[in-house]
Amino acid sequence: MSAHVVPLVRIQAEDFDTSAEVARLTRGRRDVGAVVTFTGLCRDEGGRLAALELEHYPAMAEAEIARIAAEAMDRWPLNGVSVIHRFGRLAPGDNIVLVVTTSSHRHAAFDAASFLMDYLKSKAPFWKKEHPRDGGDGGWVDAREDDEIAARRWERG
């Protein structure tokens, strides 16, 4: 990891501005040749879902995401990393997560963004509860098997 680059990690209830985050990572930088962004949105699950509620333990979640962001900086030659994850009650169409990676070359930026999202989908300490449109109890959502499989590709043997 570059000694002068510290990944930004924020967990917040408020929405985020993707353009502002990209500008923060690229402003005045002449060594950035690639910016990869990923924005995860709340789905309505075919019209069934009224809201998704995300809960977390603040210190634990921030520390874990900072740890994995630092690991991405160690694995790839990145110029910058931002990870913003929202919590609270989110409606379909709302932003949930933003990952921004910058590098001199696209492959590092793409791979690092994929690595971070695979971690966030399968291992990040968030708990998700569905609130169905019909008012019933949707219950807590388990990690999906395909997310777990995707995360395994990054394991070091």
Q: What is the pLDDT of residues 118-155, one digit of tens each?
A: 999 888 889 999 999 988 887 787 777 776 777 778 88
Q: What's the number of domains the chain is made of?
A: 1
Give the pLDDT band of residue 1 (cuts 50, 70, 90): very low
Q: What is the pLDDT of residues 32-62, one digit of tens each?
A: 999 999 999 999 989 999 999 999 988 899 9
Do the domain assignments include residue 95?
A: yes
Rounded Cα distance, 68 and 135, in Å: 37
Do the domain assignments include residue 45?
A: yes
Domain of 48 in residue numbering reads as 8-151
Rounded Cα distance, 30 and 113, in Å: 21
Do the domain assignments include residue 3?
A: no
Do the domain assignments include residue 1?
A: no
Residue 57 amino acid letter: Y
Q: What is the CATH number of the domain that holds 141?
A: 3.90.1170.40
Report, in this order, helix, strand and coil percent for the chain, each rounded to 5: 35, 35, 35
Do the domain assignments include residue 80?
A: yes
Q: In what order do the strands lie in the sheet with 49-56?
A: 88-90, 49-56, 126-132, 139-141
